[in-house]
Amino acid sequence: MRDFLLRRLIQVVPTVLGLLVLIFIVSRVMPGDPVRLALGPEATKDQIAAYQEKLGLDRSLPAQFGHYVAGLLRGDLGESIRTYRDVRLDVRDFLPATVELVTTALVVAVCLGVPFGILSATYPNTWVDNLSRLVAVPGVALPRFWVGILLQVGLAYQLGLFPIVGRASRPPQAITGLLLLDATLTGDGAAFVDAARHLALPALTLALPTLAQVARLTRAAMIDVFRRPFMLVHAAYGVPPRRLVWRYGLRNGLTSVLTLVGMTYGALIENAFLVEVVFSWPGLSAYGAAAVLAKDFNAVVGVTLVVGLSFVLANVLVDLLYGYVDPRIRYN
């Protein structure tokens, strides 16, 4: 298992390096002049030259790339031209909200989607199956920003069940920045409830299409597993149906579900861009979306980098889980 982990981590190196090059190309080589944008149309030639020197834009591209990577290794992401702060600090402040949102959505999608999928595969063409397909098929077609607006208008404005926007009206003492966790650690029950009520609609919005997709693919994977000979053999030996499904079936169907969860994570991160804007959620994605429109390059690079890296990391994690679920993969 340790060798497997090591091998997998070494494979990540070229991907991460490629990611750096890609983001560098997007931010430096593409048209658009960050200096002009930062200084405005009134800037003199000297001011432009000085600012270019400050950003290192007067050097050759390879030298710029070296400078950029060296900065990253020091944890230096440059300064934002929008918030006038270190991008690193901005990322630190905005990341926990996104992590909390995406993780909650992932948990909701998997914890509801997988059982739904298994149930419809176990009882095909019954009301359970029909109901879950009736939800799953249109579910994947829902634009998240639209669902968010509908839920906001219906449940928050009209019925007043949830707060309309924001993350907390009464945040707990900050430890990790994850409000639910902080509230638990400090034993602050009221803050926990408050944070959970704020989190409910954004997380549900983000999770809904993914939940549908997870349910649909789990159903397909499980039906595929049920058809395999070993399931018939177990059934013939008199293994009780429930044990057959949840122990033998699920373990074998789980690999394809895991792949999906890995891909899902990426989908959730990027859709957080839309959901955060709808609910004014103070997260990294809303920050990144604002940075794009303000052409705040350092911030855009910082956000893309963090999002890309966490995506790569999520894929490694999924591979490790594969090794755990399916020993054949571990030893290959």
Which range in 12-20, 58-66, 169-177, 229-237 contacts other proteins by CB under 8 A? 12-20
* Coil/strand/helix, residue 142: coil
d(CA 216, CA 214): 5
x/- mask, other proteins, residues 284-303, rule CB under 8 A, reads: ----xx-xxx-xxx--xx-x
**Is 312 near other proteins (CB under 8 A)?**
yes
* Coil/strand/helix, residue 177: coil
For the purposes of burial, counting CB atoms within 10 Å of the CB of 100, is it exposed (0-12), middle (13-18) or buried (19 or more)?
buried
**Is 266 near other proteins (CB under 8 A)?**
yes
- CB neighbours of residue 22 within 10 Å: 12
Which of residues 123, 146, 230, 246 is near other proteins by CB under 8 A?
A: 146
The answer to whether 121 and 223 have CB atoms below 8 angstroms apart is yes
Question: Can you say whether the dihedral through the CA atoms of 314, 318, 324, 327 is positive or negative?
Answer: negative
x/- mask, other proteins, residues 15-34, rule CB under 8 A, reads: x--xx-xxx--xx--xxx--
Closer by beta carbon to other proteins, 23 or else 195: 23
**Is 131 near other proteins (CB under 8 A)?**
no
* Binders in 162-181 for other proteins, by CB under 8 A: none
Cα 208 → chain centroid: 14
> What's the Cα-to-Cα distance from 221 to each of 203, 240, 268, rounded to whole Å?
26, 21, 22
Which range in 74-82, 87-95, 169-177, 310-318 contacts other proteins by CB under 8 A? 310-318
Which of residues 273, 281, 287, 322 is near other proteins by CB under 8 A?
A: 273
The answer to whether 82 and 294 have CB atoms below 8 angstroms apart is yes
* Coil/strand/helix, residue 62: helix
Tell me how far, at minimum, the Cβ of 14 lies from other proteins, in Å.
6
Tell me how far, at minimum, the Cβ of 242 lies from other proteins, in Å.
30
Closer by beta carbon to other proteins, 249 or else 308: 308
**Is 307 near other proteins (CB under 8 A)?**
yes
**Is 184 near other proteins (CB under 8 A)?**
no
d(CA 83, CA 90): 8
The answer to whether 77 and 91 have CB atoms below 8 angstroms apart is yes
Tell me how far, at minimum, the Cβ of 296 lies from other proteins, in Å.
8
How many residues belong to the site for other proteins (CB under 8 A)? 53
The answer to whether 286 and 102 have CB atoms below 8 angstroms apart is no
Question: For binding to other proteins (CB under 8 A), which residues are involved?
Answer: 14-15, 18-19, 21-23, 26-27, 30-32, 137-138, 140-146, 149-150, 152-153, 157-158, 266-267, 269-271, 273-274, 277-278, 288-289, 291-293, 295-297, 300-301, 303-304, 307-308, 311-312, 315
